[in-house]
Amino acid sequence: MRFLECDMLETANVMQKEETVMWAYESVLYQIYPLGFCGAPFENDGVLTHRIEKVTEWIPHFQKLGINAILFNPVFESDTHGYNTRDYRKIDCRLGTNEDFAKVCGALHEAGIRVILDGVFNHVGRGFYGFTDVLANREGSAYKDWFHLNFQGNDGYNDGLWYEGWEGNYDLVKLNLQNPAVTDYLLECVHSWISDYDIDGLRLDVAYCLDPAFIRLLRQKTSEWKKDFYLTGEMIGGDYKQIMGDDLCHSATNYECYKGLYSSFNSMNMFEIVHSLLRQFGPEEWTLYKGRHLLSFVDNHDVSRIASILSNPVHLPLIYTMMFGMPGIPCIYYGSEWGTKADKSEGDQALRPCFDAPQWNELTDHIAALCAARASSRALQYGNFKSLLLTNRQCIFERETEDDRVMVVINADEGSFHADFNARAGRAHDLITGQTVDFGGGIDIPAYTSYILCPF
């Protein structure tokens, strides 16, 4: 297939405003780092072990929690950690076989849970067949133009040539996405993943490094192959519109609000997170991402667990309420739903552990209630954002659509708080606890309490 030979002038016209409802906008995602989750060795030992089937044992947990899609970090054959890919067509032998993973995806789909894979398209590992061919044949390699090379230089491995690695990391060999042979190959791989595993979406690793023309082409082709195919991109800083738009990714990782969430609770300064939310989604016309659906999270495979970041553990339920209540697509990192701790200073492997079985506690109950609240509320899925009350330790904001409205209430203080604000209603139903709240004379919010109030 020669995908780049399509008329690129038509790309912008192909991706019109979506007529199909994008399922991800109404979903809760659950992120798994498979090599860690399944207890695989860090180094690829070449030993075929059927570990990936473990995911199916957790399906009852996903269903009880209220998960709609699993976001798998890398599953394909790699040198070590998954992001140094050797073979995009072969499930990592440490996890099992292609047939094993097809069964896992089938079981998830049968349970009503969609599948998102990690698309690592910026770089490959040194064990990737095209790069090993370059090392063996140098200027005579048919793959020499697949990478950014200089045969007159040298690299950290003393290969007698220089190549560009991702952010100077020579373990990750940067692909040349301006080469049609490379992009054709990657698109063929994605097409095979849809055919073989019926995947429903992709997370684009380091999407901020990818050529936007490649992202546009990927959006165009995947939408043709599967009408409601979802793309989200990793974006650390800068303007998320670089990778997100009607012809780019549907969403991007909201690292700005990730930082604002934990920082606001640790510094007891709700102004930080609410300022970010107003900047991104507020009622003014100039706000940056109104109508967009960024990927919301409090931790992931690259950062410390939120239970290790928060200085006050009683804030854990509150930060999840805030994350589920703000605009975006909530994503839960495996193990954090019961408060697992791990610090980035302990190394990446500490952030990506193997658990014998899922656990359940009061925090998990709370998150399950949040999942149910989101599933029942169009306002939480699509509503605009408006701040109603804001102090250093409390905030109340509103999410509203034409036919639904909720108010998210946070009291992060150790003492109760009396809030007077215009609720535009006399009473409300709390979507988390099911209790009724009366607004007559204002509302008294107990210490360390959060509500998602649906007025009536």
Based on the fold, state whether residues 248 and 148 are members of the same structural domain.
no
Based on the fold, state whether residues 155 and 104 are members of the same structural domain.
no
Q: Where are the beta strands (DSSP E) in 339-445?
A: 384-390, 394-400, 405-411, 417-419, 427-430, 436-438, 443-445
DSSP code per residue over 184-240:
HHHHHHHHHHHHHH---EEEETTGGGS-HHHHHHHHHHHHHHSTT-EEEE---SS-G
Based on the fold, state whether residues 197 and 247 are members of the same structural domain.
yes
The answer to whether the predicted template modeling score (pTM) of the entire model surpasses 0.85 is yes
Q: Where are the beta strands (DSSP E) in 105-206?
A: 114-119, 123-125, 149-150, 162-163, 165-166, 169-174, 201-204
The C-alpha atoms of residue 355 and residue 39 are separated, in whole angstroms, by 8
Based on the fold, state whether residues 367 and 389 are members of the same structural domain.
no
φ, ψ (nearest 5 deg) of residue 295: -85, 115
Tell me whether residue 49 is in a domain: yes
Based on the fold, state whether residues 320 and 430 are members of the same structural domain.
no
CA distance between the termini of the chain: 56
Instruction: Please give the pLDDT value at position 166.
Output: 95
Nearest to 328 by CA among 234, 254, 231, 263: 254
Based on the fold, state whether residues 61 and 172 are members of the same structural domain.
no
Spell out the residues 6+ positions from residue 258 whose beta carbon is closer than 8 angstroms to its own.
296, 297, 298, 303
Based on the fold, state whether residues 73 and 41 are members of the same structural domain.
yes
Contact criterion met (CB below 8 Å) for 403 and 414? no
pLDDT tens, position by position, for the chain (456 residues)? 444 444 443 443 434 444 578 999 999 999 999 999 999 999 999 999 999 999 999 999 999 999 999 999 999 999 999 999 999 999 999 999 999 999 999 999 999 999 999 999 999 999 999 999 999 999 999 999 999 999 999 999 999 999 999 998 999 999 999 999 999 999 999 999 999 999 999 999 999 999 999 999 999 999 999 999 999 999 999 999 999 999 999 999 999 999 999 999 999 999 999 999 999 999 999 999 999 999 999 999 999 999 999 999 999 999 999 999 999 999 999 999 999 999 999 999 999 999 999 999 999 999 999 999 999 999 999 999 999 999 999 999 999 999 999 999 999 999 999 999 999 999 999 999 999 999 988 999 999 999 999 999
Which of 382, 410, 443 terminates a domain? The answer is 382
The C-alpha atoms of residue 343 and residue 341 are separated, in whole angstroms, by 7
Tell me whether residue 6 is in a domain: no
Based on the fold, state whether residues 127 and 116 are members of the same structural domain.
no
Contact criterion met (CB below 8 Å) for 155 and 140? no
DSSP state of 162: E
Tell me whether residue 2 is in a domain: no
Residue range 6-46, pLDDT digits in tens: 444 344 343 444 457 899 999 999 999 999 999 999 999 99
Tell me whether residue 21 is in a domain: no
* Domain ranges, residue 240: 27-121+180-382
Instruction: Please give the pLDDT value at position 22.
Output: 97
Domain count for the chain, please give it. 3
Residue 165 pairs in a beta bridge with: 173
The CATH code of the domain that includes 293 is 3.20.20.80
The CATH code of the domain that includes 132 is 3.90.400.10
HSE-CB at 421 with a 13 A cutoff on CA atoms is 21
Residue range 42-58, pLDDT digits in tens: 999 999 999 999 999 99
Residue range 69-124, pLDDT digits in tens: 999 999 999 999 999 999 999 999 999 999 999 999 999 999 999 999 999 999 99
Based on the fold, state whether residues 167 and 186 are members of the same structural domain.
no
Which of 176, 197, 213 terminates a domain? The answer is 176
Contact criterion met (CB below 8 Å) for 336 and 65? no
Mapping DSSP to helix (H, G, I), strand (E, B) and coil, where does residue 323 land?
helix
Nearest to 41 by CA among 105, 92, 98, 101: 92
Instruction: Please give the pLDDT value at position 19.
Output: 52
Based on the fold, state whether residues 358 and 408 are members of the same structural domain.
no
The C-alpha atoms of residue 81 and residue 42 are separated, in whole angstroms, by 6
Based on the fold, state whether residues 117 and 134 are members of the same structural domain.
no
Tell me whether residue 19 is in a domain: no
Nearest to 443 by CA among 378, 422, 169: 422
Reading the block at residue 131, the tokens are: 């790069």
HSE-CB at 237 with a 13 A cutoff on CA atoms is 1
Tell me whether residue 22 is in a domain: no
Based on the fold, state whether residues 322 and 235 are members of the same structural domain.
yes
Mapping DSSP to helix (H, G, I), strand (E, B) and coil, where does residue 330 land?
strand
Integer angstrom CA distances of residue 321 from 66, 269, 297, 371, 431:
15, 16, 11, 10, 11
Residues shown for the chain = 456
3-state secondary structure string, 20-67? CCCHHHHCCEEEECHHHHCCCCCCCCCCCCCCCCHHHHCHHHHHHHCC
Which of 176, 199, 221 terminates a domain? The answer is 176
